[in-house]
Amino acid sequence: MKSEIRNPMSEAANDARATDLSVQIGSLRMQNPVTVASGTFGYGVEYAELLDLNQLGAVVVKGIRLTPVRGNPTPRTVEVASGLINAIGLQGPGVDGFIQKYWPFLKGLKVPTIINIWGTTVEEYAEVARRFDGLGGVGALELNVSCPNIKEGGAQFGTDARLLSQVVAACRKATRLPLITKMSPNVVSIAPYAKAAEDAGSDALAVTNSYPAMAIDIETRRPKLANVTGGLTGPCIKPIAIKLVWEAAKAVKIPIIGMGGIQNAADALEFIMAGATAVAVGTANFYEPQTALHVIEGIRDFMQRKDIRDVREIVGSVQLPK
Amino acid sequence: MVEQTVNIVSNERATDLYFRLVVRAPQIAPLVQPGQFAHVRILPLRDALLRRPFSIFQVEGDTFAILYKSVGKGTEVLSRMRPGEELNAIGPLGHGFTVPQPGGETPLLVAGGYGMAAMHLLAQRSPQTGIVFVGGRRRVDILCEEEFRALGWEVRATTEDGSHGEKGLVTQPLIAELKRTTAGRKLFACGPTPMLKAVGRLAEEFNVPAELSMDEHMCCGVGVCLTCVIPVKAGDAWEYQRTCTEGPVFDSREVVWEVTR
Q: Which residues of A are catalytic?
A: 147
pLDDT in tens, chain A (322 residues): 344 444 544 444 555 557 999 999 999 999 999 999 999 999 999 999 999 999 999 999 999 999 999 999 999 999 999 999 999 999 999 999 999 999 999 999 999 999 999 999 999 999 999 999 999 899 999 999 987 666 666 777 888 899 999 999 999 999 999 999 999 999 999 999 999 999 999 999 999 999 999 999 999 999 999 999 999 999 999 999 999 999 999 999 999 999 999 999 999 999 999 999 999 999 999 999 999 999 999 999 999 999 999 999 999 999 999 8
What residues of chain A lie within 8 A of the CB of B224, using their CB?
Answer: 40-42, 46-47, 62, 285-286
Domains B2-93 and B106-213 share a fold: no
Inspect the interface and report whether the beta carbons of B225 and A41 lie closer than 8 Å: no
Provide CATH code, domain B106-213: 3.40.50.80
Helices (H), B47-192: 73-79, 115-125, 145-150, 171-180
pLDDT recorded at residue A149: 66
User: What is the pTM assigned to this prediction?
Assistant: 0.93
Interface with A, mutate which of B73, B87, B216, B224 (most A CBs under 10 A): B224
pLDDT recorded at residue A17: 56
Whether B226 and chain A come into contact, CB under 8 Å, resolves to yes
DSSP class per residue in B160-216: TTSSSSEES-THHHHHHHHHH--TTEEEEEES-HHHHHHHHHHHHHHT--EEEE---
Q: Select the residue of A39, A79, A290 nearest B48 (Cβ to Cβ).
A: A79
What residue spans define the domains of chain B? 2-93, 106-213
Please tell me the distance from the alpha carbon of residue B47 to that of residue A176, in angstroms, as a whole number. Answer: 43
What residue spans define the domains of chain A? 28-75+89-215+235-309
Inspect the interface and report whether the beta carbons of A76 and B49 lie closer than 8 Å: no
pLDDT recorded at residue A146: 81
Inspect the interface and report whether the beta carbons of B50 and A286 lie closer than 8 Å: yes
pLDDT recorded at residue A3: 43
Across the 261 residues of chain B, what is the mean pLDDT of every consecutive 10-residue run? 96 90 98 97 90 96 94 90 97 97 95 92 96 94 91 96 94 95 96 96 97 96 97 94 98 93 67
Superfamily (CATH H level) for B2-93 = Translation factors (2.40.30.10)
Superfamily (CATH H level) for A28-75+89-215+235-309 = Aldolase class I (3.20.20.70)
Inspect the interface and report whether the beta carbons of B48 and A76 lie closer than 8 Å: no
The interface pTM score, or ipTM, of the predicted complex is: 0.92
Please tell me the distance from the alpha carbon of residue A117 to that of residue A290, in angstroms, as a whole number. Answer: 25
Whether B50 and chain A come into contact, CB under 8 Å, resolves to yes
Please tell me the distance from the alpha carbon of residue B248 to that of residue B214, in angstroms, as a whole number. Answer: 5
Nearest chain A residue (CA) to B241: A70
pLDDT recorded at residue B73: 85
3-state secondary structure of B151: coil
